[in-house]
Amino acid sequence: MTGIDKGIFRYRLGSCRQCGKGGLTISAVIGFCADCIRTHFEEVWPKIKLVHDRSRKPYGLPEDPPRAETGISCQLCVHHCRIPEGGVGFCGLRRVESGTIKGGRPHEGNLSYYYDPLPTNCVGDFVCPGGTGCGYPTYAVSKGAEHGHNNLAVFYHACSFNCLYCQNHQFKDRTRSPQRISARQLAGAVQDKTTCICYFGGDPTPHILHALKTSKLALQSSSGRILRVCWETNGGVQEPFLSMMGRLSLESGGCIKFDLKAWNESVHYALCGVTNKKTLENFKVLSTLVEQRPEPPMLIASTLLVPGYVDEEEVAGISGYLAELNPEIPYSLLAFYPHFHLQDLPTTSQTHALRCKGVAESAGLKRVHIGNLHLLGKDY
């Protein structure tokens, strides 16, 4: 294996261990090209799974969702973990002590928060009230970007997925920490100039009980003024929590941003270690609320354009799905930056991004956006 210097990174020239295909956009970490992952998944998955297992071990995270026959069932996310006494769920946060699930309850928030001045670099900034004034005066305090106001950005230190390219992987070191901030304490952090709360991470799903309680308390104390509730999520949450999230955002003027990481389930497994079926199902459920509040848009989709893996074929599948649900759903295509275990891939190229944008628009989507423009690289 050889390397080519590209700026501060040294991209390794990998070759697919299944078909022998070589190229800059085949990660040596994953070991297989996207085509072989799609067409020979049963053969290649065991080897890719080992990569996921190794990526979790340093953080004390279980390799698989626990399925203990006598375990306590967690009903928050796609995994439906059955956690044994003294064990933890796939997220690493939910645990069983003395026959009771702990972690992520309303008084047990493992999180960091900060005030992000508006407008922000939020995924939905190009269509949200904080960035554009969309929905003024009902949902925005000004006709344009809400300068002088802030977003209460809530970063939860847990996740139900295992993305090999995680852009915020540092949170994994804190998932098992004893830090606790109650829902009441977090709701009290809302300032007079705070016009939105955004839950992200990690992912808010393992902490959904905490986030829902925080939102209700914050909205009660901010009655009579604008306070939007927003989410950035992988979409793997279960009911009734999904509908609760949707209702809070719908009524407050906030939005829910789903990260649709891949269309093909095999590619999704390779990159994230988890199925995408629940995510797509949940997106469809929430899409039925879009017409109840067209502006500002309640539901937004985004996709990180991982070179060699999240290609035009993946974007075409996602875009077609979105267009069938509602062509007005905003879709943001995000530039990839080498992170975590996928540091041997280049940044998304300008050509890659523009081609994917064209694919999305050809599928019928009317609000397609390219985000993280400063990360776009040149073609190699």
Report helix, strand or coil for 105. Answer: coil
The predicted pLDDT at position 87 comes to 97
Alpha helices of the chain — where are they, by DSSP H? 34-39, 41-56, 129-132, 183-187, 208-221, 241-252, 265-272, 277-287, 312-325, 350-362
Tokens linked to 205: 């799903």
Residue the block writes with tokens 């308390």: 217
Average pLDDT, the chain: 94
| pLDDT over 60 at 352, yes or no | yes
| pLDDT over 60 at 335, yes or no | yes
User: How many CB atoms are located within 10 Å of the residue 84 CB?
Assistant: 15
User: 314-345 in b/e burial notation, b at 16+ Cβ within 10 A?
Assistant: bbbbbbbbbbebbebbbbbbbbbbbebbbebb
The predicted pLDDT at position 13 comes to 59
Q: What is the pLDDT of residues 189-245, one digit of tens each?
A: 999 999 999 999 999 999 999 999 999 999 999 999 999 999 999 999 999 999 999
Q: How far apart are CA 346 and CA 306, in angstroms?
A: 9
Share of the chain above pLDDT 90, in %: 90
CATH number of 111-375: 3.20.20.70
Tokens linked to 255: 């939005």
* Strand duo 22-23 + 14-15: pairing: antiparallel
Average pLDDT over residues 237-255: 98
Q: What is the pLDDT of residues 283-319, one digit of tens each?
A: 999 999 999 999 999 999 999 999 999 999 999 999 9
| pLDDT over 80 at 167, yes or no | yes
pTM of the model: 0.94
Residue the block writes with tokens 């789903």: 258
Tokens linked to 143: 């006709």
336 and 54 in contact (C-beta within 8 Å)? Answer: no
Q: What is the pLDDT of residues 81-112, one digit of tens each?
A: 999 999 999 999 999 999 999 999 999 999 99
Residue ranges of domains in the chain: 3-59, 65-102, 111-375
